[in-house]
Amino acid sequence: MTTRDYQRIAVEEAWAPEELLLRYRRELESTSRSDPGFRSLWGFYGGDSDRATQLAKRLQDLGERRLRDMDAAGIDRQLVFLTPPGVQIFSAPLATSLAASCNDQLADGVRGAGGRLAGLAAVAPQDPAAAALELERAVTRLGLKGVVINSHIQGEYLDDEKYWEIFAAAQALDVPLYLHPNTPSPGLIEPLLSRGLEVGMYGFAVETGLHALRIIVSGALDRFPRLRIVLGHLGEGLPFWFDRLDYLHAINVRANRYPGVPPLQRKPSDYLRENFYYTTSGMPWEPVISFVRSVVGTERVMYAMDYPYQYVPQEVAEMERMPLNAGEKRAFFQTNAERVFALPAY
């Protein structure tokens, strides 16, 4: 039993069933699969290196091994969802079927974990209507706590209105959408590849920060003002840009320079402060955590580890040493996550 008066919840923790990893391997063998980001990411993690092998074992486990790793790090609960690229690389019918199967398996794992796991639904945005229906099923029948979108959808983004049925469903269900990184889309990735920058070192932030800005600038959050979006990695760098985003967006609107930049009801930074929430996944560094908390509000920043990709058990002790009072520490580790994801309170 813990002597703390709060629990530690990690809210960006990856999972993948064996059937999905096997399909990734088959995709890598296919000459028709041309996405260089997928080949880079799963060409490595689908391989036989020690890191890839250990990661695959951890990804597939929703039981004893995962709980043992949580105990070793001092994590009481995890919010689990499908690893990138999820089902988003497949044809719409196959992706829709896989999403439902993954959600059923994740819900079973959650039920078997004695209250220590919760999950987000996978959907196939390739078929937005089916995705909205699967999200409703996953939330209302399976007890999952929201939805994950692993960034681009075969080179397309959620700012395209054809995907807004997913936004409408998430808002109607009052559940968050976790906009999680993927390797950059084919049109964005080439300059990153040769220096190994396309994944976590930089490319994930480039891709996902771009995606979030496209959603904001499109006006989607004026159409769906109660939509809640979660960004990992302390907002993929966007909190650093608030002032510049507001200044340059206003100039572009006044100049009527771009057809795709309509006037908005609020400033870009307002949406990032009012519709978005942030996790520390992969960014266990007190100065930047403190900065983000100062600009978006302490109620919007939550702890995450980024398991198993960045499984560093000692980081939890480092986070405990941050200069937070008891109430702030409880919010950071526990109650913000409980509120955002409607997790049971302890």
Q: What is the pLDDT of residue 184?
A: 98
Backbone angles phi, psi at 186, to 5 degrees: -55, -30
Joined together, the tokens standing for residue 218 give 């499109």
Tell me how far the alpha carbon of residue 310 is from its chain's centroid.
Answer: 14
Closest to 146 (Cα-Cα) out of 61, 197, 224, 80 = 80
Q: Across all residues in the chain, what is the average pLDDT?
A: 97
Q: What number is the average pLDDT over the span 144-149?
A: 98
pLDDT single digits (tens) 252-265: 999 999 999 999 99
The yes-or-no verdict on residue 3 having pLDDT over 90 is no
Joined together, the tokens standing for residue 233 give 């990695």
Confidence of residue 346 (pLDDT cuts 50, 70, 90): confident
Element (DSSP H or E) covering residue 22: helix 18-29
Instruction: Identify residue 10 by its one-letter amino acid code.
Output: A
Strand duo 121-122 + 117-119: pairing: unpaired
The yes-or-no verdict on residue 140 having pLDDT over 90 is yes
3-class secondary-structure state, position 82: strand
Number of residues that make up the chain: 346
Q: What is the pLDDT of residue 196?
A: 97
List of residues 6+ apart from 62 with CB closer than 8 A:
15, 80, 105, 106, 109, 110, 112, 113, 117
Confidence of residue 32 (pLDDT cuts 50, 70, 90): confident
Confidence of residue 25 (pLDDT cuts 50, 70, 90): very high
Torsion region of 297: left, alpha or beta (phi above 0 gives left; psi -120 to 50 gives alpha): left
Q: Give the integer Cα–Cα distance in Å for 331 and 303.
A: 9
pLDDT single digits (tens) 177-208: 999 999 999 999 999 999 999 999 999 999 99
Name the burial class of residue 202, with classes exposed (0-12), middle (13-18) and buried (19+) by CB atoms within 10 angstroms of its CB.
Answer: middle
pLDDT single digits (tens) 271-304: 999 999 999 999 999 999 999 999 999 999 999 9
Q: What number is the average pLDDT over the span 320-327?
A: 96
Question: What Cα–Cα distance (Å) separates residue 239 from each residue in 124, 188, 301?
Answer: 29, 22, 12
The yes-or-no verdict on residue 1 having pLDDT over 70 is no
pLDDT single digits (tens) 324-339: 999 999 999 999 999 9
The yes-or-no verdict on residue 29 having pLDDT over 70 is yes
Q: What number is the average pLDDT over the span 4-33?
A: 93
Q: Give the integer Cα–Cα distance in Å for 268 and 51.
A: 39
Tell me how far the alpha carbon of residue 157 is from its chain's centroid.
Answer: 15
Q: What is the pLDDT of residue 315?
A: 96
Q: Give the integer Cα–Cα distance in Å for 130 and 128.
A: 5
List of residues 6+ apart from 210 with CB closer than 8 A:
157, 188
Closest to 75 (Cα-Cα) out of 344, 288, 317 = 317
CA angle 51/184/296 to nearest 5° reads 95
Confidence of residue 2 (pLDDT cuts 50, 70, 90): low
pLDDT single digits (tens) 84-112: 999 999 999 999 999 999 999 999 999 99
Please list the helix, strand and coil fractions of the chain in percent, rounded to the nearest 5, in that order.
55, 10, 35
Q: What number is the average pLDDT over the span 6-14?
A: 98
